[in-house]
Amino acid sequence: MKRSTGQHPGGIVVVPKSKSIFDVTPIQFPADDPTSDWKTTHFDYHSFEANLLKLDILGHDDPTMIKFLMDYVSLNPTEFPFKRAQDIPLDDTKVYELFCGTEIINVQPHEIMSDVASYAIPEFGTPFTRQMLVDTKPKTFAGLVKISGLSHGTDVWLKNAQALVSGKTDFGKIPFNDIIACRDDIMVQLSDLGLQPLKAFEIMEFVRKGKPSKDKAKWLDYEQEMRKNNVPEWYIWSASQIKYMFPKAHATAYVIMAMRIAWFKVYKPLLFYSGFFSKRAVQFDYEIMVAGANAIRNKLTTLNESSFNLKVKDENLIVTLGVALEMTKRGYNFLPIDINRSDATTFTMEDKGLRMPFSAIDGLGASVAYDIISKRTEKPFTTREDVKERTKINKTVFEKLEQFGAFKDLNVENSVIEAGLFAL
């Protein structure tokens, strides 16, 4: 059964009060989930876009991460050279080194299973974008914007620019700075080569919508126009392969946020990792993470060897463990859950480590985790029996917590005096 439309969440269709959604389209439960509060339209938006307005209210992880980091900055202002997120430097040479190698974080590539140190940096931490960084070695802000544009396009990097940069086409090796990456590049570059601005704009729009492969007659006209102005053959070929292109302003916004977050990776690493695991990571393996670098590496190797049969939770775990491996190789560690010290969902900093939160336990949801904190705040837990009686922890999770040593300072049950006539 297909459980997803493959589209991003956040598209909200607005229906006037005087109308019914059924005047325009049937609706259904998303992923056949009858408990869902929201319904989805049976037809895609383009089927009725002339009739109803759609608001794209997208969720973004980056501002959430920035808020987490800046909350710490506001509490510890003397530790930072800035007070606002807007003032985080975007031109720090040490931060750019994260995208070129691993020396800046004092580890070897084989230790973290990556040739670059961009794990957990938004837009640049996936295997796909890390390989792009290895292939192109960008050292400037403009280079990173190019990477962002390439990674979000369709047939802009794969089967296209990647082959040009590596010299695997008949055109020879093309410099990374010259290749097409964002839709704006086409208009600017063609204008620089002598095409009239309006014609350059038309070609940009034609290419970014992937029309060269659909309207070949029109594309032949554009090819002749470009050849009249001595546009290189490799450029014409590259443009003809493109199916979708990203706007440069959008790519730039992504890179600005990525650079702000990356600053903390260089200068405040434990805070950076605390933010990632607390706000970005969605799947954990408690025992593996607490066990340390060797256990993390072995688990990653096992998961990568069966990459064609992975479930979504396994794919999410690979992301988490990649960052965890890097963190432990930088000299930090994960501290076990403690009933008196762990937070509900935040990986709290303690000395050279991160204290695992309750939500890192498989089967212990956020609501139960917050309930534990609430009960602990009302009155400190006195015994394991006290924890069991006052919280919503189920039997299976309670046994896991016992196994992990979360109750090490608590007796199993109340003593006669504590529970009897002279109880406090």
Q: Which domains does the chain have, with CATH numbers?
A: 11-56 (3.30.1900.20), 163-245 (no CATH), 269-416 (1.10.150.870)
Q: Give the residue carrying structure tokens 């309207």.
A: 215
Q: Give the residue carrying structure tokens 């759609």.
A: 54
Give, to the nearest 10 degrees, the angle between helix 248-267 and helix 141-152. 120
Closest by alpha carbon to 10, among 54, 53, 43, 58?
Answer: 58
Strand 348-350 to 40-41 pairing: unpaired
Gap between the Cα atoms of 286 and 278, Å rounded: 14
What is the SS3 assignment for 358?
Answer: helix
Amino acid at 204: M
What radius of gyration do the chain's Cα atoms show? 27
Gap between the Cα atoms of 232 and 250, Å rounded: 27
The answer to whether 226 touches 123, Cβ cutoff 8 Å, is no
Give, to the nearest 10 degrees, the angle between helix 293-305 and helix 312-329. 150
CA of 209: how far to CAs of 24, 185, 247, 279, in Å? 27, 14, 12, 35
Whether the CA torsion 204, 205, 211, 217 is positive or negative: it is: negative
Q: For each of the chain's 424 residues, which pLDDT tens digit applies?
A: 334 444 556 788 999 999 999 999 998 887 667 777 788 888 888 888 888 998 887 767 789 999 999 999 999 999 999 999 999 999 999 999 999 999 999 999 999 999 999 999 999 999 999 999 999 999 999 999 999 999 999 999 999 999 999 999 999 999 999 999 999 999 999 999 999 999 999 999 999 999 999 999 999 999 999 999 999 999 999 999 999 999 999 999 999 999 999 999 999 999 999 999 999 999 999 999 999 999 999 999 999 998 788 888 999 999 999 999 999 999 999 999 999 999 999 999 999 999 999 999 999 999 999 999 999 999 999 999 999 999 999 999 999 999 999 998 788 766 544 555 445 4
Token output for 160: 């296209």
Closest by alpha carbon to 220, among 228, 212, 209, 229?
Answer: 212
